[in-house]
Amino acid sequence: KMKYWLLFIGILITSPVFAECKIDQQQFGVSSTTIENKLIDFKIFERIPNFQKEVLTIFEDICPKLGETLARDTTLRYHFIKDQLVAIELVRPAHNDLLLFEWARQYFGIMEDRDINEQQQLIQVEEADRLIQLFLGILPDAVFQNVALISSEHDDLFELLANKEDVMDWETYEYPASDDDSVGEGN
């Protein structure tokens, strides 16, 4: 019973910090402009022009009350397909801690703990409109941590992206001439 009291007290202490952070407040399907208008400092990366786009910022811009180490050393990526938000990803590469992994477990209420016998671990939780993935990769000198929120209501866009990637010439980043606009240069 003492274990549950400690967990309850831990939640009471950390809840105000987590309440300040709302990485998942954006609705899937919103445009990149909606996200960009809410950010102060960001970069845009278009992997497939006018089709697949990422908006990158540091975690601290969204969650300023988090510990500096976690917030400043973690990248927040908003992923768009056809200008609709389909995934939100946090990436913390090459650090010697488990800060992002543990933060995400608490923030999303994930009970599954880290398996210390595994070099890599993926925890997945399905919710009504999204899939939450926590990934942990233990390297000899560092730990790679990734948290992703993936829309489960935009499977059609993920399928469209997969089709587009299948026909893309990855050396030239060009598409073959096609009458099928859904696979070719479509909007």
- The answer to whether 144 touches 134, Cβ cutoff 8 Å, is no
Burial of 155 (0-12, 13-18, 19+ CB in 10 A): exposed
Give me the tens of pLDDT residue by residue for the chain, a chain 187 residues long: 444 444 444 444 433 334 457 776 668 999 999 999 988 899 999 988 889 999 999 888 888 777 777 888 899 999 999 999 999 999 998 788 888 999 999 889 898 888 878 888 899 999 888 999 999 998 888 889 999 999 999 888 988 888 888 887 767 667 665 544 444 444 4
**Is the model's pTM score more than 0.85?**
no
Phi and psi dihedrals of 104, rounded to 5?
A: -65, -40
Helices (H), the chain: 2-19, 32-36, 59-62, 68-72, 99-107, 155-167
| Chain CA centroid to CA 166, Å | 23
| C-beta neighbour count of 153 within 10 angstroms | 12
Residue with tokens 């866009």: 157
